[in-house]
Chains A and B, each alone.
Chain A
Amino acid sequence: MTETHADYRLSQLDQLEAESIHIFREVAAEFEKPVLMFSGGKDSIVMMRLAEKAFYPAKIPFPVLQVDTGYDFPEVLACRDNWVNRLGARLIVASVEEAIKDGIVVDDGKTSRNRLQIGTLLNALEEGAFTAAFGGGRRDEEKARAKERVYSHRDEFGQWDPKNQRPELWSLYNGRLHEGEHMRIFPISNWTELDIWHYIGREGIEIPSIYFSHQRRVFERDGMLLSESEHNPVRSGETVEERTVRFRTVGDLTLTGCVESEADTIDKIIDEIAIARVTERGATRGDDRFSEAAMEDRKKEGYF
């Protein structure tokens, strides 16, 4: 049997874990059809771990939904499959390619895959009649997120109304919905990037290998280092070369930049982040850089 602390203290990481588990259980108890949105990134992997703990030794009582952009890193898909198999969870894949074929979203050649994900995701949520969708958003990521509730209400169109959010007090969450509406749930709202890494290290859980330093053929575009890929033709003036890199976020590979890094262990990654001077989104996500309010706009439209 494990001894707990004699002075009844709980470290901040344990407190965050306890709060997140509480949220997972609350949603599973009160919503008819929850689903966990899995991006393959470190945040959604931490969510999988927390869900695993919340219901152990039972299996997680909801399926896992992933939006396949068609431009995902193969390493990320492999990691996803390992997780889903180990937990015995049901995986639903919503494909952007299919959504384009079915006319659900329109690929005009200019719109990024991250944006096309929105329509694909909303369609998958509607088709599955899901009433609650867990997302891995953190309030420390971005200014617009700092005000978002743990239970974030979405109307029939999947939109978020930042000026009309329900008050959220104590640990009492209000999950009331009308027909056609759903709730986005953010169980790791109060975690910071550093907390996420410490937790991954402490739990010893698998994350996609692209987070660790590796050799990759890359080229520079708009100040970002992008991966060579058939989906991302090199333009004139751009040169491909092999460098030692790692990714700080995972997403559409045509837009997700990597950074030069020697960090090949969790501890080295933590050291690197601790002295990093640029936020993860600012550094490597092409689609957040268009305007200061870009994230707020995408959230209103129904982005994760």
Chain B
Amino acid sequence: MSEDLTKAEVAEQTRDMDLLRFATAGSVDDGKSTLIGRLLLDSKSIFEDQLEAVEATSQSKGYDYTDLALLTDGLRSEREQGITIDVAYRYFATPNRKFIIADTPGHVQYTRNMVTGASTADLGLVLVDARQGLTEQSRRHAVLLSLLRVPHLVLAVNKMDLVDFSQEVYEKIHAEFTQFATKLNIPDLEVIPISALAGDNVVNRSENMPWYSGPTLMHHLEHVHVASDRDLMDVRFPVQYVVRPKSDEHHDYRGYGGMVAGGVLKPGDEVIVLPSGMTSKIAGIDLFDREVSEAYPPMSVTVRLEDDVDVSRGDMIARINNAPKPSQDIDAMICWMTNEPLRPRQKLAIKHTTRSARALVKDIQYRLDVNTLHRDQDTKELGLNEIGRVQLRTTVPLLCDSYSKNRTTGSFILIDEASGVTVGAGMIL
């Protein structure tokens, strides 16, 4: 992004630019809030009154610099404790892209919040303090992002100003992390030395680190290629809502509303409706009052079929030779999100795409130590913020893919039937 870009120029392009969702992770005090404040400030997404409020608070607290972290630490209890306790969403835009940041807390007791933020992210941004180097926490953050199949990862080595912008410090962290990352599933990795407080290599290239020839953080965020991360091969259309006007004008209209989860749908395509197995052809695809020639992820459209087959919410439209296998036995990695542990024989509600059912916990195979990647086979239960491999049996078949193939048809949530609270997040193996 150029330095003298005006907000007006940004506005010009808001309409046609694309979208990058990224999740940030770091331990307390690594500088996450400061970095986000810096990105908002340098992309001119901060308004005068917001900046003034933050400057006033900083002054009243006796700081000699503006605490940019105050821009993002929203809830009162967080301001009081000075830490980030829940996922907060932030927005900024450059001429090329709009960005949605899921700012997640770093503590181990907030693993569930980080999993939440990472679930929709295209890119994960892990911060480390250059003085401390990689910690158990940074490794855990990388493991979680890889488990959630976030396709792009950035390791930002922050506070370079406090280590005299030393290349040696950077190289050591770089080498150590690259080594660790080979054990994970990280298709794309970038390691960037920055100072969030001073702004080095955030938006503007650092004059203090001439030895670094890679991109600045903002340049990387603006240019990382995300379109190819979607599955455009395997058609998956979970039926969400049956549109039936029952009006004189549209008497016979029957359409299936939903969001395309995979592949490209076209009128004339032969399709199969699951779980019934009935086949038909796509008669038309409607986007409000116009017909479109194609639908692909993540479009919300209404699909009409040529035959009067029985289709309802929870069904899935796919291609005849490329359909998910309906199954009642689910093998998944589960992140447990509540105090009362997950135990075998437990019954829970499950929501997968637009389908809801009940699930029985058949077996907990192992608990994954997210710091060491060790698999604890002796575990009898999964506690809060723990992740493990679990076998479930569901009351009705789910139409699922593996999470590594499709993050929409491969994911589910578990709900406690008594409290109604979301207690688990699952990624199908």
Q: Number of contacts between A and B (CB, 8 Å)?
A: 227
Does B264 lie within 8 Å of A8, measured CB to CB? yes
Q: Of residues 221 to 260 in B, which have CB atoms within 8 Å of A's CB atoms? A: 227, 230, 232, 240-241, 243-247, 249-250, 253, 257-259
Does A236 sit within 8 A of B, measured CB to CB?
A: no
Contacts of A140 in B (CB 8 A): 90-91
The 8 A CB mask of A100-143 against B (1 = contact, 0 = none) is: 00000000000000000000000000000000000000011001
Q: Which of A2, A146, A177, A270 contacts B291 (CB 8 A)?
A: A2
Contacts of A202 in B (CB 8 A): 15
Does B247 lie within 8 Å of A270, measured CB to CB? no
How far is A102 from B69 in the complex, measured between Cα atoms in Å? 47
The 8 A CB mask of A224-253 against B (1 = contact, 0 = none) is: 000000000000000000000000000000
How far is A9 from B264 in the complex, measured between Cα atoms in Å? 12
Q: Of residues 50 to 97 in B, which have CB atoms within 8 Å of A's CB atoms? A: 50, 53, 57, 72-77, 85-91, 93, 97
Give 24 pairs: A residue, B residue, CB < 8 Å, sorted on A: A2-B290, A4-B295, A7-B227, A11-B15, A26-B240, A26-B354, A55-B257, A58-B247, A143-B75, A146-B74, A162-B75, A167-B425, A169-B425, A170-B408, A171-B259, A172-B351, A195-B98, A274-B11, A276-B47, A277-B47, A278-B48, A278-B49, A282-B47, A292-B57
Min CB gap B271→A, angstroms = 18
Does A170 lie within 8 Å of B245, measured CB to CB? no
Does A293 lie within 8 Å of B76, measured CB to CB? yes
Min CB gap A243→B, angstroms = 22
Choose the segment among B2-10, B132-140, B190-198, B208-216 that binds chain A (4+ C-beta atoms closer than 8 Å): B2-10
How far is A2 from B17 in the complex, measured between Cα atoms in Å? 20
Does B8 lie within 8 Å of A271, measured CB to CB? yes
Contacts of A207 in B (CB 8 A): none
Among A8, A170, A177, A292, chain B packs the most CB atoms within 10 A around the CB of: A170
The tally of residues in A whose CB lies under 8 Å from a CB in B reads: 72
Among A58, A166, A279, chain B packs the most CB atoms within 10 A around the CB of: A58
Does A163 lie within 8 Å of B77, measured CB to CB? yes
Q: Contacts A18-B300, A29-B354; is A275 near B6 (CB within 8 Å)?
A: yes
Does B74 lie within 8 Å of A56, measured CB to CB? no
The 8 A CB mask of A260-275 against B (1 = contact, 0 = none) is: 0000000000110111
Q: Contacts A13-B14, A171-B259; is A18 near B89 (CB within 8 Å)?
A: no
Does A10 lie within 8 Å of B299, measured CB to CB? yes
Interface of B is mostly: mixed
Does A287 sit within 8 A of B, measured CB to CB?
A: no
Does A176 sit within 8 A of B, measured CB to CB?
A: yes
Does A174 lie within 8 Å of B351, measured CB to CB? yes
Does A18 lie within 8 Å of B14, measured CB to CB? no
Return the 9 tightest CB-CB contacts between A and B, nearest first: A176-B420, A143-B74, A274-B11, A282-B49, A277-B48, A21-B300, A12-B19, A58-B245, A25-B241
How far is A120 from B39 in the complex, measured between Cα atoms in Å? 41
How far is A190 from B88 in the complex, measured between Cα atoms in Å? 11
Among B10, B73, B88, B253, chain A packs the most CB atoms within 10 A around the CB of: B88
Does B422 sit within 8 A of A, measured CB to CB?
A: yes
Does B170 sit within 8 A of A, measured CB to CB?
A: no
Min CB gap B56→A, angstroms = 10
Does A28 lie within 8 Å of B241, measured CB to CB? yes
Does A29 lie within 8 Å of B241, measured CB to CB? yes
Min CB gap A280→B, angstroms = 9
Contacts of B264 in A (CB 8 A): 8
Does A292 lie within 8 Å of B86, measured CB to CB? no
How far is A15 from B296 in the complex, measured between Cα atoms in Å? 11
Contacts of A10 in B (CB 8 A): 18, 296, 298-299
